């Protein structure tokens, strides 16, 4: 039985193939080819991928990612589909599911929502709950840069506090939409915001996410 991460991995690879290497994405400055290179480097070059969180290594990450982006696009897509090498921690199903479910979902939407005439996916309830579970655990980390108090709320009323403080903005939407909002894709997330107008405006332009 395939996992959420495995399904999102194949969906991302298929979508990248469909749109082509020059297609836009929601990641500033990245075309589809750059996003594909990022995914491959993250799984296959831990020595460089650490630059995402350890800023002194950021130049190395950028250099390695540029090297991968120069590879044939079809090769990058095949590397995404086949997944990490056997000795990589990501090769363990539990690690893959924990680390990649959100990663692949967000990047799939980065590609989908940068194209014209996109529409939100209908996520099955089990997957939606899995995304919500991860969002609950990550909420404080994702919302740490919020300029306002931030509450994330599902239509059924379940909530996650991403940042305490006043004034408070409540963002309501389905789990996938809330996840995208919290990862800094505010402009592409289908959500409703409730709060002071100035606070809402600040939140919409804030640098949320990791």
Q: Are residues 16 and 108 in the same domain?
A: yes
Name the domain boundary from 97, 112, 127: 112
Q: Cis ω on the peptide bond leading into residue 167 (within 30° of 0)?
A: yes
| Alpha-helical runs (H) found in 73-144 | 73-82, 93-112, 125-142
More confident residue, 193 or 166: 193
The count of structural domains within the chain is 2
Instruction: Indicate the SS3 state at residue 158.
Output: coil
Give helix 32-44 / helix 4-19 axis angle, nearest 10°.
Answer: 140
Q: Are residues 79 and 29 in the same domain?
A: yes
pLDDT tier at 141, thresholds 50, 70, 90: very high
Q: Are 174 and 152 in contact (CB under 8 A)?
A: no
| pLDDT 10s digits, 61-103 | 678 778 888 899 999 999 999 988 887 777 788 888 888 899 9
Q: For residue 50, what pLDDT is reported?
A: 54
Is residue 127 assigned to a domain? no
pLDDT tier at 60, thresholds 50, 70, 90: low
Query: Residue 150 belongs to a domain with what CATH number?
Result: 3.30.1050
Is residue 123 assigned to a domain? no
Q: Are residues 108 and 150 in the same domain?
A: no
pLDDT tier at 192, thresholds 50, 70, 90: very high
Q: How many residues are given for the chain?
A: 210
Q: For residue 41, what pLDDT is reported?
A: 86
Q: Are 168 and 193 in contact (CB under 8 A)?
A: no
3-state helix, strand, coil in the chain (%, to 5): 60, 10, 35
Is residue 129 assigned to a domain? no
pLDDT tier at 48, thresholds 50, 70, 90: low
| pLDDT 10s digits, 150-180 | 999 999 999 999 999 989 999 999 999 999 9
Q: Is the pTM of this model over 0.85?
A: yes
Find the radius of gyration of the CA atoms of the chain: 17
What sign has the CA pseudo-torsion 92, 94, 96, 99?
Answer: negative
Q: Are residues 58 and 90 in the same domain?
A: yes
In the 8-state DSSP scheme, what is residue 24? B
Per the structure block, which two tokens stand in for 195?
Answer: 């709060």
Spatial distance between the Cα atoms of 206 and 105, rounded to a whole number of angstroms: 21
| pLDDT 10s digits, 109-131 | 999 999 998 988 999 999 999 99
Is residue 71 assigned to a domain? yes
Is residue 186 assigned to a domain? yes
Q: Are 209 and 142 in contact (CB under 8 A)?
A: yes
Q: For residue 134, what pLDDT is reported?
A: 95
Spatial distance between the Cα atoms of 32 and 107, rounded to a whole number of angstroms: 10
Is residue 83 assigned to a domain? yes
- Residue indicated by tokens 């959100």: 102
Mean pLDDT (whole number) for 24-47: 88
Is 55's pLDDT higher than 90?
Answer: no
Q: For residue 58, what pLDDT is reported?
A: 65
Domain that residue 85 falls in: 4-112
Spell out where the chain has E strands.
149-153, 159-163, 168-172, 192-194
The mean predicted confidence, pLDDT, of the chain is: 89
Is 1's pLDDT higher than 80?
Answer: no
Is residue 121 assigned to a domain? no
Closest CA to 169 of 208, 134, 197: 197
């Amino acid at each position: 039985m395939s996992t959420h991460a495995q399904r999102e991995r194949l969906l991302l690879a298929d979508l990248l193939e469909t749109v082509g290497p020059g297609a836009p994405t929601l990641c500033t400055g990245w075309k589809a080819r750059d996003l594909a290179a990022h995914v491959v480097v993250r799984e296959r070059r831990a020595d460089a991928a650490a630059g995402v969180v350890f800023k002194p290594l950021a130049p190395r990450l950028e250099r390695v990612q540029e090297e991968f982006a120069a590879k044939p696009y079809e090769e990058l897509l095949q590397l995404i589909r086949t997944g990490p090498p056997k000795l990589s921690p990501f090769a363990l199903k539990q690690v893959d599911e924990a680390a990649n479910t959100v990663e692949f979902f967000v990047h799939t939407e980065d590609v989908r929502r940068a194209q014209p005439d996109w529409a939100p996916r209908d996520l099955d309830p089990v997957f939606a709950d899995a995304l919500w579970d991860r969002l609950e655990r990550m909420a404080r980390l994702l919302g740490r840069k919020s300029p306002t108090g931030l509450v994330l709320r599902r239509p059924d009323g379940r909530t996650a506090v991403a940042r305490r403080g006043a004034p408070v903005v409540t963002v309501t939407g389905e789990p996938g939409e809330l996840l995208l909002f919290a990862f800094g894709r505010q402009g592409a997330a289908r959500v409703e915001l409730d709060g002071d107008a100035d606070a809402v405006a600040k939140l919409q332009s804030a640098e949320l996410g990791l």
